[in-house]
């Protein structure tokens, strides 16, 4: 048996073979090719493989998801062999004497740009399909496995560390758990694991070795313990915990359909955090009453290029429609810091958490912001969408955001496109500055949602990504709790609601404190909804003053 100790960052016990994440080399060389005929044959072979894959996916989709999804894959299979697209590749080969990879890349870029420039929105939407098809042919040329996991059976995925963009591109159906050498519980990879309900341990350090690939491991995402080929006693303790987990799950089933109300009748809205439209299924199966944070940037992180207005519209509309009139708070693009997107070509920063991130990027790049706001307002016609702006520090930023919204609404009105004029606008309270000017901010918006991950980082001057800050990164610090209280009082004075969408919202040891502070909504990972409901139903809502919030 090999025992390893790390930090549990997503609860649950899992077991399976270790699979070490292979970081694919996606660089495409500009060097000339030695034999153009050989490159042509490589393209033909990659095309055939792509068509075969797409036909298999179409058959599977027809069985699992119906005709609409199947047709999408069939259309992609047709694109692979589209005459003009293929001619574009062949021209690049002949004229530039480049490699097959370069020729496919050039054809993909040219073709997508041509489609995106067309007047017809349907044809513009096809640009994304061509990018997708190009990525598939390139992967087949370079021997990159789609979804990153070259294994038929599900695995415990091991890595040195995983960037959020890498995690998003993995095939989730093949992941039983995550174990990483580095990482922190407050970074976005851990947050993603919790959102997906997949057990995870980070910070295993050198103890986790690539040579363990293929060996069977048990992991406990609560205690942070991992055991390779455990002895009988250790195995029994993992199995007991797995059984308890199952029993708890069954007990929690009884919470479905119950109200989120304390013993003394105080209501708390219990919403969910999601990262993609696929997560809505988990919100529904856990009986979440709404979505309090849809991290829209995950759409950008999972893509190889800017998601178009159509792509975003579809994603937001699908979520709004599936939630059937329940509130869906969609946060506008929040990249930067640990969420890096190559195609944004951001300058390298010494302190990215204090740099051009989140709302600062949107205000600096009005076209990117406009595309997202158009998609959001168009989707607002299909459900109860609320728009939320991240990392606010000043009132002028909010005013600028609202002006951008007004402009988009005027455009849609002129184009005769339906949208909801009364779409709620809110901001995230994530900086000490926003707490200190909360009264002025509250007069500008319909709600506040506290991002305690960043609020803790900025209030305590502790990098949320560092895994060696230990007790210094303390979200229970009175400064953080008093910041919550100041923001809650400001919100209520202006007659608006306030929620928490940071990870602290699921901390049951603070539930009575949140109730006393006056928090109206808690947005948590779908798996945390029912335990939170059970705790609310046993609580009493008291009140508190600032001074009472001590460590
Ligand atoms: C937060 O900072 O608490 C938050 C919810 O946003 P993110 O974790 O995505 O930065
Ligand atoms: Mg944040």
Q: Is pLDDT above 90 for 117?
A: no
Q: What mean pLDDT comes out for the span 16-36?
A: 89
The answer to whether 27 and 224 are in contact (CB under 8 A) is no
Say what the pLDDT of residue 72 is: 83
Termini Cα distance of the chain: 41
Q: Is pLDDT above 70 for 390?
A: yes
Ligand 1 in reach of 451 Cβ (< 6 A): yes
Instruction: Give the whole-angstrom CA distance, residue 175 versus residue 277.
Output: 19
Atom number of ligand 1 nearest to Cα 450: 3
Atom number of ligand 1 nearest to Cα 454: 2
Helix axis angle for 121-142 and 100-116, nearest 10°, is 170
Residue 270 — very low, low, confident or very high, per pLDDT cuts 50/70/90?
Answer: very high
Instruction: Give the whole-angstrom CA distance, residue 228 versus residue 216.
Output: 6
* Residue to probe by mutation, ligand 1, list 190, 296, 502, most atoms within 8 Å of CB: 502
Q: What mean pLDDT comes out for the span 403-419?
A: 98
Instruction: Give the whole-angstrom CA distance, residue 506 versus residue 513.
Output: 12
Measured between alpha carbons, how far is residue 540 from residues 113, 119, 384 in Å?
Answer: 59, 59, 30
Residue 273 — very low, low, confident or very high, per pLDDT cuts 50/70/90?
Answer: very high
Measured between alpha carbons, how far is residue 492 from residues 333, 486, 489 in Å?
Answer: 27, 10, 5
The answer to whether 106 and 92 are in contact (CB under 8 A) is yes
Say what the pLDDT of residue 22 is: 81
Q: Is 518 left (phi over 0), alpha (psi -120 to 50) or beta?
A: left
Catalytic residues: 188, 501
The number of beta carbons lying within 10 Å of the beta carbon of residue 545 is 9
Task: Give the tens place of pLDDT for each residue, 153-180.
Answer: 999 999 999 988 888 888 889 999 999 9
Residue 65 — very low, low, confident or very high, per pLDDT cuts 50/70/90?
Answer: low
Residue 476 or 188, more confident: 476
Q: What is the distance in A from the centroid of ligand 2 to the CA of 480?
A: 14
Which helix (H) or strand (E) segment is 291 a member of?
A: strand 291-295
Q: What mean pLDDT comes out for the span 354-375?
A: 97
Residue 545 — very low, low, confident or very high, per pLDDT cuts 50/70/90?
Answer: very high
Residue 8 — very low, low, confident or very high, per pLDDT cuts 50/70/90?
Answer: very high
Ligand 1 in reach of 357 Cβ (< 6 A): no
Q: Which of 83, 109, 96 is nearest to 39 (CA)?
A: 96
Which helix (H) or strand (E) segment is 248 a member of?
A: helix 232-253
Structural tokens at position 3: 């025992």
Q: What is the distance in A from the centroid of ligand 2 to the CA of 535?
A: 26
Say what the pLDDT of residue 333 is: 98
Q: What mean pLDDT comes out for the span 310-329?
A: 96
Q: What is the distance in A from the centroid of ligand 1 to the CA of 48?
A: 43
CA-closest residue to ligand 1 atom 6: 451
Atom number of ligand 1 nearest to Cα 295: 9
Atom number of ligand 1 nearest to Cα 337: 10
Q: Strand 447-450 to strand 497-500: parallel, antiparallel, or no bridges (unpaired)?
A: parallel
Residue 356 or 145, more confident: 356
Q: What is the secondary structure of 491-515 as a DSSP string?
A: HHHTT-EEEE-SGGGG-GGGHHHHH
Q: What percent of the chain has pLDDT over 90?
A: 82
Q: What is the distance in A from the centroid of ligand 1 to the CA of 500?
A: 10
Instruction: Give the whole-angstrom CA distance, residue 171 versus residue 38.
Output: 32
Ligand 1 in reach of 430 Cβ (< 6 A): yes
Residue 63 — very low, low, confident or very high, per pLDDT cuts 50/70/90?
Answer: confident
Task: Give the tens place of pLDDT for each residue, 66-76.
Answer: 787 788 889 99
The number of beta carbons lying within 10 Å of the beta carbon of residue 367 is 8
Task: Give the tens place of pLDDT for each residue, 286-296.
Answer: 999 999 999 99
Q: What mean pLDDT comes out for the span 133-155?
A: 89
The answer to whether 118 and 77 are in contact (CB under 8 A) is no
CA-closest residue to ligand 1 atom 8: 453
Q: What mean pLDDT comes out for the span 184-188?
A: 88
Ligand 1 in reach of 453 Cβ (< 6 A): yes
Q: What percent of the chain has pLDDT over 70?
A: 100
Q: Lowest-confidence range among 121-125, 230-234, 376-380?
A: 121-125
Q: What mean pLDDT comes out for the span 7-20?
A: 96
Mean pLDDT over each residue of the chain, to the nearest integer? 94
């Amino acid at each position: 048996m090999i025992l390893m100790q790390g930090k549990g960052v997503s609860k649950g016990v899992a077991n399976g073979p270790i699979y070490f994440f292979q970081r694919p080399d996606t660089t495409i060389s500009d060097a000339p090719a030695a034999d153009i005929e050989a490159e042509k044959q490589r393209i033909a072979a990659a095309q055939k493989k792509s068509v075969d894959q797409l036909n298999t996916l179409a058959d599977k989709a027809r069985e699992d998801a119906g005709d609409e999804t199947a047709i999408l894959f069939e259309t992609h299979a047709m694109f692979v062999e589209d005459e003009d697209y293929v001619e574009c590749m062949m021209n690049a080969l002949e004229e530039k004497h480049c490699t097959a990879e370069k020729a496919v890349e050039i054809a993909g870029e040219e073709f997508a740009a041509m489609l995106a420039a067309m007047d017809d929105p349907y044809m513009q939407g096809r640009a994304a399909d061509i990018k997708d098809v190009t990525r598939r042919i390139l992967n087949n040329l370079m021997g990159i496995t789609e979804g990153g996991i070259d294994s038929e059976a599900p695995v415990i995925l091991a890595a040195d560390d995983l960037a959020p963009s890498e995690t998003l591109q993995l095939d989730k159906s093949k992941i039983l758990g995550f174990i990483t050498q580095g990482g922190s519980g407050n970074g976005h990879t851990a947050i993603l694991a919790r959102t997906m309900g997949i057990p995870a341990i980070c910070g295993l350090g050198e103890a986790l070795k690539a040579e363990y690939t293929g060996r069977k491991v048990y992991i406990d995402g609560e205690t942070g313990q991992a055991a390779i080929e455990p002895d009988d006693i250790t195995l029994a303790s993992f199995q007991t915990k797995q059984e308890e987990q199952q029993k708890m799950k069954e007990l929690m089933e009884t919470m479905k359909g119950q109200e989120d109300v304390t013993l003394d009748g105080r209501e708390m809205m219990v919403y969910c955090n999601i990262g993609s439209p696929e997560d809505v299924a988990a919100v529904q199966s856990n009986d979440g009453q709404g979505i309090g944070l849809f991290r829209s940037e995950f759409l950008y992180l999972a893509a190889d290029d800017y998601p178009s207005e159509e792509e975003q519209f579809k994603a937001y509309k699908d979520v709004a429609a599936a939630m059937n009139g329940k509130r869906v708070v969609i946060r506008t693009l929040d990249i930067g810091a640990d969420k890096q997107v190559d195609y944004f070509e951001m300058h390298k920063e010494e302190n990215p958490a204090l740099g051009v991130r989140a709302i600062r990027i949107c205000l600096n790049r009005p076209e990117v912001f406009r595309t997202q706001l158009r998609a959001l307002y168009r989707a607002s016609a299909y459900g109860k969408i609320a728009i939320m702006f991240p990392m606010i520090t000043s009132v002028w930023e909010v005013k600028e955001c609202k002006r951008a919204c007004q402009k988009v609404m005027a455009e849609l009105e002129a184009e005769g496109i339906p949208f909801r004029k009364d779409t709620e606008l809110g901001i995230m309270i994530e900086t000490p500055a926003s707490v200190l000017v909360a009264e002025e901010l509250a007069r500008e918006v319909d709600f506040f949602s506290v991002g305690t991950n960043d609020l803790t980082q900025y209030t305590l001057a502790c990098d949320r990504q560092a895994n060696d800050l230990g007790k210094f990164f303390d979200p229970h610090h009175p400064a953080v709790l008093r910041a919550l209280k100041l923001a809650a009082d400001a919100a209520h004075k202006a007659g608006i609601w306030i929620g928490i969408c940071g990870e602290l919202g699921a901390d049951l040891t603070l539930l009575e404190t949140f109730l006393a502070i006056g928090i109206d909504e808690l947005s948590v990972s779908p798996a945390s909804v029912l335990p939170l409901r059970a705790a609310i139903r046993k609580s009493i809502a008291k009140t508190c003053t600032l001074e009472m919030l001590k460590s």
